[in-house]
Amino acid sequence: MASAKNAPKPWDFLDAFRGTMFEGEWPTVVQMFDISVKRYPDNKCFTAFVPKKETFSYAEVHAFVTEIAKYLVSKGIGKDDKVAVSGKNSPEWAMAYLGILYAGAIVVPLDSTLNNKDMTKLMDFAGVKILFADTDRLADFDTENALGLVDRISLEPGSAFPFVLDVKADAKGDFHKAQSDETAAILFTSGTTGTPKGVMLSHRNLVSDCYLAQGNMNLYPSDVFYAILPIHHAYTMMAVFFEAISVGASIVFGKKLIISQVLKELREGEVTMFLAVPMLFNKMIGALMNGVREKGIVLYGFIRFLMGVSGLLKKIFKVNVGKKMFGFLLKKLSLEKNRICISGGGPLPASTFKMFNELGIDFVQGYGLTETSPITHLNPVEAYIETSVGKKVPQTEVKIVQPDAEGNGIIYIKGPMVMQGYYNNAEATGEVLEDGWLNTGDVGHQDGQGYLYLTGRAKNIIVTEGGKNVFPEEIEDHFQLYNEIDTICVLGYLIDKKTKSEGIRALVYPAEKYREDMNKEHGTEAKQKIEQRIQQIVSEVNKELQPYKKITRVTVVDEPLEMTSTKKVKRFVVAQKYKD
């Protein structure tokens, strides 16, 4: 029997193309897509249902991408030039991205929710020459052309700007063929204050991470991925876009994070790979379990008992009876055809992780940062641990620096997926990167099998009166399945200026449906009743927490807490807004 070291690897097939379609250890992104086109020309590549259904095969996408590249080259775009793409998820967005790389240029994916001022700042900093974007953005953006843009191209048809799938040109000269160690993309991290931090990722970073992640999970050409989270973000870019095109799989693009539309697209697209953030999975499992509970406490108890049995059989004996047993429930979530669900982008309650697996879904979570392309850890479906963010993927090194008595310390990561550095920001690069080791800024520990367990972000630590370190994320996790709460942000507040010790405060934004129901039922007394219930929930959670982690101040806010595009609270912005 072959040892694990000599066992076949998911990327072994590349050997057949090494020397003919690429050289060295890993192909570039362009060569990776060329290989998939050669292997699966007729496979569905990109599909969208809104505003109308459109599907493109690998061969068709390749043809469009080549034309886009020719057009860019005719505009003088080539090596080291930056081209931005920003807009709602769509096949056109993905083809623009690939076209930029085929032209030998560098992609700068930008958050479409940025205001014009912040987008201008990032584009100016990166030296962007051409912008691909949705029509409404182009219509009122940089009308004076202060950025000196060579061209603006629409990702939507029927506008005054050239449409991305209509552009054509006879490229003069040869395309620049990027090497594996050249920069492929510059991804800007959250926040635009101070000097922007643009993460430079090479072709090698992206392609190696794409294939190495498959060391912890098998992917197939028959898989259908769902791109509902913003595709400019590293998580969706890698775990959906790149992973799919690396194996000849299909991508269904969703444009709006509305549950009813998500369920419709999951069903119509026959999605097998569903990747989302904890908030969405929490809402889905919460709504499902509430629906069962409304049928009566006896039925609910019986279903939960059967789920427990199913989970035990799946976890211990590797027998999955859940899909057949609970098919009628999975159908309500449009997951009856689903193969794997992956949660990323933030901490997930172990209870959510556990319930999806009990229902028969191979549900796992992963970990990574924009600076690591981003995947460094992923739970194998056959050996998942609910409390872990995953097992390190092949060729990844991890060390825990300055661990405390419980083994928790700053997580450092090294591997081929670690970024080249921050664009034009040597100081920021030096602060986090040394001898190939990246300081993630996250705190946690790993076990002997390479599984990682997170505690929180080092910069978010609250230091209590007794000198104890508390991570807000640990406390926030306890609130994720309360339907009355939409968003919670746990912060420290100063209780002693001399010792700089802090108390623990919670800012809570109640769920919209809960507020509406309370307003109908209690009228002018609704606000008071809501605050009483939130206080009651906090008291319930406090009973589960160690004394030094208990929340001592609660503020119920009247407007949504500001979030990033991947539904994380902008902690610093919120803290400034609700400063004592």
pLDDT at site 548: 86
pLDDT at site 173: 65
Is the dihedral angle over the CA atoms 57, 62, 65, 67 positive or is it negative? negative
Q: Does the structure show a pLDDT above 50 at 505?
A: yes
pLDDT at site 499: 61
pLDDT at site 193: 47
- For residues 518 and 531, give the distance between their C-alpha atoms in angstroms, rounded to a whole number: 11
Q: Give the pLDDT mean for 562-574.
A: 84
Helix (H) or strand (E) holding 101: helix 91-102
- For residues 62 and 68, give the distance between their C-alpha atoms in angstroms, rounded to a whole number: 10
Is the dihedral angle over the CA atoms 60, 64, 70, 72 positive or is it negative? negative
Q: Which residue has the higher pLDDT, 143 or 196?
A: 143
- For residues 437 and 98, give the distance between their C-alpha atoms in angstroms, rounded to a whole number: 30
* Residue 336, C-beta contacts closer than 8 angstroms, at least 6 positions apart: 323, 327, 330
- Top mean pLDDT of 61-65, 175-179, 540-544 is at 61-65
Amino acid at 391: K
Q: Which of 426, 421, 429 minimizes the C-alpha distance to 202?
A: 421
Per-residue tokens: 221: 């050409």
- For residues 357 and 312, give the distance between their C-alpha atoms in angstroms, rounded to a whole number: 10
- For residues 404 and 449, give the distance between their C-alpha atoms in angstroms, rounded to a whole number: 20
Q: How many helices (H) and strands (E) does the chain have?
A: 19, 26
β-strands 397-401, 437-446: how paired? unpaired
Q: Give the pLDDT mean for 142-162.
A: 94
* pLDDT tens figures, 400-449: 999 988 899 999 999 999 999 999 999 999 999 999 999 999 999 999 99
Q: Which residue has the higher pLDDT, 351 or 194?
A: 351
Q: Which residue has the higher pLDDT, 487 or 501?
A: 487
Residue 193's alpha-carbon distances to 54, 108, 183, 230, in angstroms, are 39, 18, 24, 21
Coil, strand or helix at 33: helix
Looking at the DSSP bridge assignments, the partners of residue 222 are none
User: Could you tell me if 366 and 424 are in contact, meaning their C-beta atoms sit under 8 angstroms apart?
Assistant: no
* Sheet of strand 421-422, all strands in order from the earlier edge strand to the far edge: 151-154, 128-133, 82-86, 106-109, 183-188, 198-202, 421-422
Phi-psi region of 269 (alpha: psi -120 to 50; beta: other; left: phi over 0): alpha
Radius of gyration over every alpha carbon of the chain, rounded to an integer in angstroms: 24
Per-residue tokens: 18: 């090494």
- For residues 174 and 17, give the distance between their C-alpha atoms in angstroms, rounded to a whole number: 23
User: Could you tell me if 376 and 413 are in contact, meaning their C-beta atoms sit under 8 angstroms apart?
Assistant: yes
- For residues 515 and 531, give the distance between their C-alpha atoms in angstroms, rounded to a whole number: 11
Residue 270's alpha-carbon distances to 116, 251, 349, 371, in angstroms, are 37, 11, 27, 32
CA 144 to chain centroid, in Å, comes to 35
Angle at 375 between CA 370 and CA 380, to 5 degrees: 155
* pLDDT tens figures, 316-374: 999 999 999 999 999 999 999 999 999 987 778 888 999 999 999 999 999 999 999 99
Residue 434's alpha-carbon distances to 204, 419, 428, 440, in angstroms, are 19, 12, 11, 12
Q: Give the pLDDT mean for 147-171.
A: 94
Report residue 86's pLDDT band, with 50, 70 and 90 as the boundaries.
very high
Per-residue tokens: 377: 């850890």
User: Could you tell me if 517 and 529 are in contact, meaning their C-beta atoms sit under 8 angstroms apart?
Assistant: no
Q: Phi/psi at 201 (nearest 5 deg)?
A: -115, 125
Per-residue tokens: 511: 């769920």
DSSP class of 238: I
- For residues 145 and 211, give the distance between their C-alpha atoms in angstroms, rounded to a whole number: 40
Over the chain, what is the mean pLDDT? 92
Residue 7's alpha-carbon distances to 25, 208, 213, 219, in angstroms, are 18, 18, 16, 17
Residue 348: burial class (beta carbons within 10 Å; 0-12, 13-18, 19+): buried
Total-model pTM: 0.87
Q: Give the pLDDT mean for 192-220.
A: 91
* Residue 63, C-beta contacts closer than 8 angstroms, at least 6 positions apart: none
Domains in the chain: ranges and CATH:
25-215 (3.40.50.12780), 277-458 (3.40.50.12780), 461-577 (3.30.300.30)
Q: Which of 144, 81, 84 minimizes the C-alpha distance to 119?
A: 84
* pLDDT tens figures, 393-413: 999 999 999 998 889 999 999
pLDDT at site 5: 63
- For residues 413 and 426, give the distance between their C-alpha atoms in angstroms, rounded to a whole number: 19
* Residue 109, C-beta contacts closer than 8 angstroms, at least 6 positions apart: 84, 85, 86, 97, 185, 187, 231, 232, 237
Residue 272's alpha-carbon distances to 144, 196, 239, 267, in angstroms, are 46, 37, 13, 10
pLDDT at site 4: 57
Q: Give the pLDDT mean for 517-523.
A: 95
Q: Does the structure show a pLDDT above 60 at 484?
A: yes
Q: Got the DSSP string for 485-499?
A: EEEEEEEEEEEETTT
Q: Give the pLDDT mean for 40-47.
A: 98
Residue 125's alpha-carbon distances to 139, 195, 222, 263, 425, in angstroms, are 22, 9, 41, 39, 11
User: Could you tell me if 41 and 57 are in contact, meaning their C-beta atoms sit under 8 angstroms apart?
Assistant: yes
